[in-house]
Chains A and B, each alone.
Chain A
């Protein structure tokens, strides 16, 4: 019996010894490693640590000052400041709180923030907390500013009055403000893209409406039936183009709009414009960004008819390619200098031309990623062929009815 106990004790000892040796090795190696790698002086390391913490708080803040994002940012911010508690507010309410004391300091924080919102200045004040066990004795409030003035406030709580805390809180608040300004920049960029789309839609109208109406007018006496048909096409087309809802449409609807566009343009140019559509029925239900093909056709017609004498042939084809639909718009017109085209796609518009092309390119890239931008084959005098590859399925892309 005692022999067994002895053996067990021996085994346990051996295990402990082995564990100790391994542990020792590991820690030793870690120390040795850090010495060998030279991770910098303590000051430098503290800087790195601070930068890392700040980088953790940055992404949520880039989405703007709102409940959820503030909640994710407030943790890293508190460890950046090293205070007991930290809270972020917007203009009216506390958005997020990290650390103890939220229960009985909530009201007070909202009040402090309101005061700062009015003055726009940092402030340091005692909390006068009734609870003797509470460590939140002193509060520093700093404003968070955006482009349109003060957006909210940062309230940092400490155990005593401290100039360091005031300074730190002010600096952090300034850093947060910069992030918020960047987020506003992001949003305004998106708004601009939307406005551009809207502008593009509006851009269809003046020229096209004038020309179409003039063409229709020319038929009113000679061929009233045709004039009526054209007017209905015109009505359909404008209703579709000016619809306000939905970012995506079915390819079938887009093609129908193009068909109306072609009918109206054809009325103006007569036999000089020949348009062929070759469409595989499989791809008609594909969803794609609203009005992203019509500018391509418009462009093809414009290029094709540059030469007044010769006619122009435009071929619009949509074919099935497995998980993608491939749409091509081809004309046999004047073509374009590839260098100039490159400039247009970069967003430079010499003479204001090609806004349609670059806009479509931009939107396709935005929705489907960089590999789905326009592919354009052209040369001076060689016509132009624009190819769009549209995935049949992409999360979040759902057509809305016309």
Chain B
């Protein structure tokens, strides 16, 4: 791929982010035409900002990759990512805003009047934030690797440095405008190439992809296998090999592989003739570093139904507990505006998620070998070159690369901001500007370092893990906190520890590659199915067992959460003139 355009696009996005972050949109007016009222962020602006911050690398790259590899079943991801806002809208949005809380820890303290529960909630905010940052940085590394051939840690480091720099230098000024802009940037960056690619596909005779049979290569393709994989063949395949297959070393030799399972060594280059079926990656072998991701995604392990329910529960209930989403609701002037904002978010995100499946489908037709190389997340980026080619293809590729970097930067900066804020306020000993900078460094350094050692996971899956922890910890806290008057601080703490803690432990074990294969692995990789009920149940039972600890201010707090502001506060007088 020609690097010039792509590097230019990425540089432009990074520079724009740094500049806007450093200078802010200096919208300043003199008093003559200034009205504060007209400056509150309206639901539409705020919703675009929430969407901009929310649509991460998982949405921009990950979904297309998963659809390419595993077919339409993976559409549960975009459905879940969107439907989470429906649950948020119905159960949480307005009361959360009315509570006056900025972070989720604030909500815990406001509702339960307990500094201990607050501190516990803060730990979960940090944990979820880190889990969510990890795939963002990995995705950035992958993108830059594909674009420029740089080692895969460079992209992550670049994003980490840019984000740490802008956040530590005084936070993103006018962050609502920046994030709203990022949403439209991402949508455009995905929509325009999608339209052109669809046109190219139509001009090509509209070839169909089949998801129930092995994908077929349309032309002679050379594939470099990055990590050792086991591939299964349904029929003998003639292939030119440079590298190791089944432990035998070949130097540019054409061999015929029999039907069955073969082990392809890392770094092997396979040249596949046109018309041949793409070898499918075989199930989990313990010697296969990537194999573990298969049952997760509902592949060959036979636990697809369970995994799908795990995914649905995690994404439907996990959205409300994402630290960078919760803080955005503070910008709404009142509860009703928060609800309206969520509604607009549903529309914006729903519109956006129509696009990644298009890329997944086109990828299945035009770049099926990506499923073999283990970098299916790259499908979105390589398609333009593959389908259109020439200068136009490169420009489109650059647009997509810029959009992907916008995705990394906006989500990562939102997360870093939230995590650093909580670290500085509740975890680090004293509060000062210097500590906020230290906290920012800590907020990005930990996932960056973890990314270097953790097992590689498809980006969308990795984000799913963060959702699972959020769904098992903050969903019970928020839903019960808002809708159940008998929740007690001990109950909330126990629920957070048991539900969220077990989900976190399971997810960490999975990411560290400690989970044993088979059912235990499936259970630990998709913890939401058991950990969400566990969290709810623990909270309810322990609360019922400690009825004397119900906070004294509960009725007043619940009244404030549920009544519109006009009733809890005296009616604002209409202004005579405006």
Identify the A interface with B (CB < 8 A).
Answer: 229, 232, 235-236, 239, 245-246, 250, 252, 255-256, 259, 262-263, 266, 274-282, 284-285, 287, 319-323, 371, 392-393, 395, 397-402
Contact = CB atoms under 8 A, between A and B. Distances in A.
12 contacts: A252-B37, A276-B30, A281-B176, A284-B39, A285-B331, A322-B171, A322-B436, A392-B106, A393-B101, A393-B102, A401-B566, A402-B573
B-side interface size class? 35 or more
A242 to B, nearest CB: 13
Contact of B31 (A235, A263, A323, A399): A263
Contacts of A280: 24, 173-176
A246 B572 CA distance: 13
Given A232-B577, A277-B29, A395-B113, A284 B102 contact: no
Contacts of B424: 322-323
B41 A281 contact: yes
B575 interface: yes
Contacts of B39: 279, 281, 284
A263 B422 CA distance: 39
B34 A259 contact: yes
Contact of B171 (A239, A262, A320, A397): A320
Given A321-B171, A397-B100, A277 B573 contact: no
Contact of A236 (B30, B110, B566, B575): B575
B421 interface: yes
A401 B37 contact: no
Nearest to A239: B573
Contacts of B103: 323, 393
A255 B28 contact: no
B425 A323 contact: yes
B213 interface: no
A259 B35 contact: yes
Given A398-B560, A401-B565, A282 B330 contact: yes
B100 A398 contact: yes
B546 interface: no
A273 to B, nearest CB: 9
B302 interface: no
B31 A401 contact: no
A319 B23 CA distance: 12
Interface string B536-577: 000000000000000000000000100001100111110111
Contact of A277 (B34, B332, B560): B34
A259 B171 contact: no
Most-contacted residue by chain A among B31, B37, B171, B575 (CB, 10 A): B31
A183 B171 CA distance: 45
A244 B573 CA distance: 14
B285 interface: no
A277 B37 CA distance: 13
B40 interface: yes
Given A259-B36, A322-B421, A276 B576 contact: no
B210 interface: no
Contact of A400 (B332, B422, B431, B570): B570
Most-contacted residue by chain B among A256, A262, A281, A393 (CB, 10 A): A281
Given A262-B31, A281-B331, A285-B332, A256 B36 contact: yes
The main secondary structure of chain B at its interface with chain A is loop
A252 B36 contact: yes
B106 A229 contact: no
Given A282-B175, A284-B36, A284-B39, A322 B31 contact: no
B576 A232 contact: yes
Interface of B: 24, 26-31, 34-37, 39-41, 45, 100-103, 106, 109-110, 113, 170-176, 330-334, 417, 420-422, 424-425, 431, 436, 560, 565-566, 569-573, 575-577
B437 to A, nearest CB: 11
Nearest to B422: A323
Contacts of B569: 246, 399-401
A236 B101 CA distance: 29
A401 B335 CA distance: 14
B415 to A, nearest CB: 13
B102 A392 contact: yes
B29 A229 contact: no
A281 B40 contact: yes
A319 B171 CA distance: 10
B100 A252 contact: no
A221 B56 CA distance: 61
A285 B341 CA distance: 15
A251 to B, nearest CB: 9
Contacts of A235: 576
Pick the 4 closest A-B CB pairs, nearest first: A392-B102, A393-B106, A401-B569, A281-B41
Contacts of A400: 569-570
Given A320-B173, A320-B175, A393 B110 contact: yes
A6 B172 CA distance: 80
A280 to B, nearest CB: 6
Contacts of B100: 287, 393, 397-399
Given A284-B41, A285-B331, A393-B100, 8 more contacts: A252-B40, A279-B36, A280-B175, A281-B39, A284-B40, A320-B173, A322-B420, A371-B431
Most-contacted residue by chain B among A278, A322, A392, A399 (CB, 10 A): A322
Nearest to A389: B433
Contacts of A229: 577
Contacts of B102: 323, 392-393
Nearest to A321: B171
Contacts of A239: 573
Contact of B571 (A232, A277, A321, A401): A401
A227 B420 CA distance: 50
Contacts of B573: 239, 402
Contacts of A236: 575-576
B489 to A, nearest CB: 14
B36 A245 contact: no
Contacts of A250: 333
A266 B31 contact: yes
A239 to B, nearest CB: 7
A401 B573 CA distance: 9
A321 B167 CA distance: 9
A16 B385 CA distance: 85
A285 B330 contact: yes
Contacts of A392: 102, 106, 330
A126 B577 CA distance: 76
Contact of A395 (B26, B109, B422): B109
A400 B575 CA distance: 17
Nearest to B26: A278
Most-contacted residue by chain B among A280, A371, A392, A402 (CB, 10 A): A280
Nearest to B173: A319
Nearest to A284: B40
A282 B41 contact: yes
Nearest to A252: B36
Contacts of A245: 570
Most-contacted residue by chain B among A262, A277, A400 (CB, 10 A): A277
A239 B575 CA distance: 11
Contact of B27 (A278, A393, A398): A278
B57 to A, nearest CB: 23
A276 B421 contact: no
Contact of B170 (A232, A262, A274, A321): A321
A79 B24 CA distance: 66
Nearest to B560: A398
A275 B318 CA distance: 46
A279 B37 CA distance: 11
A232 B575 CA distance: 9
Nearest to A287: B100
A277 B38 CA distance: 13
Contacts of B26: 278
Contacts of A277: 28-29, 31, 34, 36
Contact of B570 (A232, A262, A401): A401
Contacts of B35: 256, 259
